[in-house]
């Protein structure tokens, strides 16, 4: 993001430019600690105290660009007052992916091609340019409880000069184990920052992408309610899907079913959903897998990828295991 008031020839100017760039990449905003850490990681020559000072003065220096919608949080004004600005810049375009790749350095181009190969394999979708610099795969509709809604790529990344940004629209609450094994990286609300692919374990990253894609597929983009989702489940899968829902509702009698990330989630005390289910033509699924090592071993026959439990339609549900998994996920 460019602003004529920023003199990038100075240290503070470069810090301010990086701060605005990071906020532009994160429409939902960043906490002070997240923004601070990402700026420091982007350039080791930045002195921590200088970064701290610049971040604290962002709103004072750029009141027309930056705001603080909540304590300790920073967000660009355009994303607070109008979602249109954010969605317009990240819609699918007809720009050639190959033309975009040609504009990258040789090393970044090679890394981008490697990520494209993995995301194509995971999604089965062809790469499409979203906005000027995001390569996306597939398309999913989202709707926040605030009423804000739009469309995003099911998988996507941006091979920026400073770092490769891989997008996880669901955030990282369910990726604790994977992030510990991934290697050198940084995260913000929904972005994974990687300096270069040789810094990380690509097998772990592929598992994360499979898990992320699983949470964003199988639903009609027009579905807006739980009843609508249930109606969209293929007829063959409905009996087992209903059985799975009834089993979870019996285990969580006070939970509320809500459409979350395009599938059904179970929320307790208005908190973020911790258990999710989906229905397909050949199986039903539950997300995520509990962290407990012993339970994960018992669930191994039903595990697909790193975070999904698949239950085939031609086999009975492992009811006791599902109950244990639900308890572990909601404790």
Q: Residue 316: pLDDT above 50?
A: yes
Domain with CATH 3.90.1150.200 in the chain: 90-214, 226-330
Domain with CATH 1.10.10.10 in the chain: 11-81
- Determine the Cα–Cα distance for residues 66 and 47; give it in Å rounded to an integer: 22
Q: Which residue did the predictor score with more confidence, 172 or 2?
A: 172
Residue 198 has a pLDDT of 95
Residue 313 has a pLDDT of 93
- Determine the Cα–Cα distance for residues 44 and 69; give it in Å rounded to an integer: 29
Q: Cis peptide before 5, with omega less than 30 degrees from 0?
A: no
CA distances from 234 to 6, 204, 239, 303, 316 (A): 55, 31, 10, 22, 18
CA distances from 236 to 111, 118, 281 (A): 41, 31, 6
Residue 324 has a pLDDT of 95
pLDDT digits (tens, 9 = 90+) for 234-263: 888 999 999 999 999 999 999 999 887 668
Question: Positive or negative CA dihedral for 144, 157, 117, 173?
Answer: negative
CA distances from 64 to 16, 32, 35, 320 (A): 14, 19, 19, 56
Comparing C-alpha atoms, which of 157, 165, 205, 204 is closest to residue 188? 165
- Determine the Cα–Cα distance for residues 278 and 301; give it in Å rounded to an integer: 18
Confidence label for 81 from pLDDT (cuts 50, 70 and 90):
very low
pLDDT digits (tens, 9 = 90+) for 1-39: 554 555 556 888 889 888 888 888 777 778 788 788 888
Domain 226-330 has CATH 3.60.20.10: no
Q: Residue 72: pLDDT above 80?
A: no
Q: Residue 148: pLDDT above 80?
A: no
Q: Residue 41: pLDDT above 50?
A: yes
Non-local (6+) Cβ contacts of 220 within 8 A are 228, 232
- Determine the Cα–Cα distance for residues 185 and 178; give it in Å rounded to an integer: 12
Q: Which CATH architecture has domain 90-214?
A: Alpha-Beta Complex (3.90)
Lowest mean pLDDT among 67-71, 118-122, 286-290, 312-316: 67-71
Residue 188 has a pLDDT of 74
> pLDDT over 70 for what percent of the chain?
85
Residue 229 has a pLDDT of 80
The radius of gyration computed from the CA coordinates of the chain, to the nearest angstrom, equals: 21
Confidence label for 86 from pLDDT (cuts 50, 70 and 90):
very low
Residue 170 has a pLDDT of 75
pTM assigned to the model: 0.49
Non-local (6+) Cβ contacts of 296 within 8 A are 289, 290, 303
**Whether 35 contacts 15, CB under 8 Å:** no
Q: Residue 102: pLDDT above 60?
A: yes
Q: Which residue's entry shows tokens 């939970």?
A: 255
- Name the fold adopted by 11-81: Arc Repressor Mutant, subunit A (1.10.10)
Residue 109 has a pLDDT of 95
Non-local (6+) Cβ contacts of 40 within 8 A are 46, 48, 51
**Whether 214 contacts 287, CB under 8 Å:** yes
Q: Residue 277: pLDDT above 60?
A: yes
Q: Which residue's entry shows tokens 């340019």?
A: 129
Q: Which of 9-23, 55-69, 105-119, 158-172 has the highest mean pLDDT?
A: 105-119
CA distances from 261 to 84, 127, 152 (A): 20, 21, 11
Comparing C-alpha atoms, which of 168, 163, 259, 150 is closest to residue 205? 168
């Amino acid at each position: 993001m460019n602003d004529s008031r920023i003199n990038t020839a100075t240290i503070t100017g470069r810090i301010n430019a990086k701060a605005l760039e990071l906020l532009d990449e994160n429409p939902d905003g960043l906490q002070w600690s997240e923004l601070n850490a990402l700026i420091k990681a982007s350039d080791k020559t930045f002195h921590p105290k200088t970064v701290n000072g610049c971040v604290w003065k962002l709103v004072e220096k750029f009141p027309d660009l930056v705001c603080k919608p909540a304590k300790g949080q920073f967000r660009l004004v355009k994303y607070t007052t109008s979602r249109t600005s954010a969605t317009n810049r990240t819609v699918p375009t007809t720009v050639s992916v190959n033309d975009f790749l040609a504009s990258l350095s040789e090393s970044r181009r090679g890394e981008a091609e490697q990520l494209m190969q993995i995301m194509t394999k995971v999604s089965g979708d062809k790469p499409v340019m979203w906005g000027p610099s995001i390569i996306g795969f597939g398309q999913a509709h989202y709707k926040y409880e605030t009423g804000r809604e739009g469309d995003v790529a099911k998988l996507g990344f941006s091979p920026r000069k400073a770092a490769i940004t891989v997008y996880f629209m669901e955030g990282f609450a369910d990726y604790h184990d994977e992030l510990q094994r991934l290697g050198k990286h940084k995260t913000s609300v929904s972005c994974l920052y990687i300096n270069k692919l040789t810094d990380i374990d690509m097998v772990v990253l592929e598992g994360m992408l499979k898990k992320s894609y699983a949470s964003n597929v199988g639903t009609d983009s027009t579905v807006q309610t739980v009843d609508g989702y249930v109606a969209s489940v293929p007829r063959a899968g409905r009996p087992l899907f209903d059985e799975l829902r009834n089993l979870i509702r019996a285990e969580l009698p006070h939970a509320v079913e809500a459409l979350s990330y395009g599938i059904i989630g179970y929320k307790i005390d208005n908190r973020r959903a911790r258990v999710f289910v989906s229905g397909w033509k050949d199986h039903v699924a539950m997300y995520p897998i509990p962290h407990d090592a012993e339970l994960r071993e018992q669930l191994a026959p039903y595990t697909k990828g790193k975070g999904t439990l698949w239950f085939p339609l031609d086999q009975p549900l492992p009811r006791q295991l599902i109950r244990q998994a639900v308890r572990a996920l909601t404790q």
